[in-house]
Structure 1
Amino acid sequence: MAQPVRVRGLTEREGQKLQHIVRRGSTSSVRFRRAMMLLASAGGSTVPVIARLVQADEDTVRDVIHRFNEIGLACLSPRWAGGRPRLLDRDDEDFVVQTATTRPT
């Protein structure tokens, strides 16, 4: 059986930063939930318990913990994907804007 996923030992600064985020609660909801996950794991909670606590999927909790163990507090900020590729390049966009803002003859 595989070892349970846990955060590495928190430094004092990391612990204070995570507690600050959770106590204030005025940060983004993503940062708040991720900080909750990390603090709960550092407190000894298992992944299924943490997932129920923050109402997230267990795989999401594991991903956040692994990412924290790799890169530290930078894992709190979401990495949003770029989305759909642009259909217009800059030149086409400039042409459309120029045409739309030109007074008709």
Structure 2
Amino acid sequence: MAEPVRVRRLTDQEGQRLQQIVRRGSTSSVRYRRAMMLLASAGGNRVPVIAQLVAADEDTVRDVIHRFNE
């Protein structure tokens, strides 16, 4: 079985920026949902849980995490 997909360790600046996006909620809904996915992953949640949280497909969540990690 493959290793679970997780976001890499966030820098302080990245974490603050993601929280700022989520708190304000004034940016695009896509940006908001991506920030939620990354913060949820950083918090230790697994892909299926994150997908339910943001009402997205599990593959979409994996793609967002992989892109961020690159």
Fold match by TM threshold 0.5: yes
Rounded Cα–Cα distance in structure 1 between residues aligned with 2:47 and 2:22:
19
Equivalent pairs counted in the alignment come to 70
2:16 is matched with 16
Q: TM-score, normalised by structure 1?
A: 0.66
Q: TM-score, normalised by structure 2?
A: 0.99
2:47 is matched with 47
Q: What do you get for the CA RMSD once the two structures are aligned?
A: 0.2
Tell me how far 1:43 sits from its aligned partner.
Answer: 0.1
Alignment of 1:1-105 (within 5 A): 1-70=1-70
Q: Which ranges of structure 2 fall in alignment gaps of 5 or more residues?
A: none
Which letter maps to 1:53?
L
Kindly name which structure, 1 or 2, has the bigger radius of gyration based on alpha carbons.
1
RCO higher in 1 or 2 (8 Å CA, sep ≥ 6)?
A: 2
* Identity across the alignment (%): 84
Tell me how far 1:47 sits from its aligned partner.
Answer: 0.1
Q: Which ranges of structure 1 fall in alignment gaps of 5 or more residues?
A: 71-105
Rounded Cα–Cα distance in structure 1 between residues aligned with 2:50 and 2:7:
12
Where do 4+ consecutive residues of structure 1 move more than 2 Å?
none
Rounded Cα–Cα distance in structure 1 between residues aligned with 2:43 and 2:6:
10
Which letter maps to 1:61?
V
Which letter maps to 1:44?
G
Query: Is the helix fraction higher in 1 or 2?
Result: 2
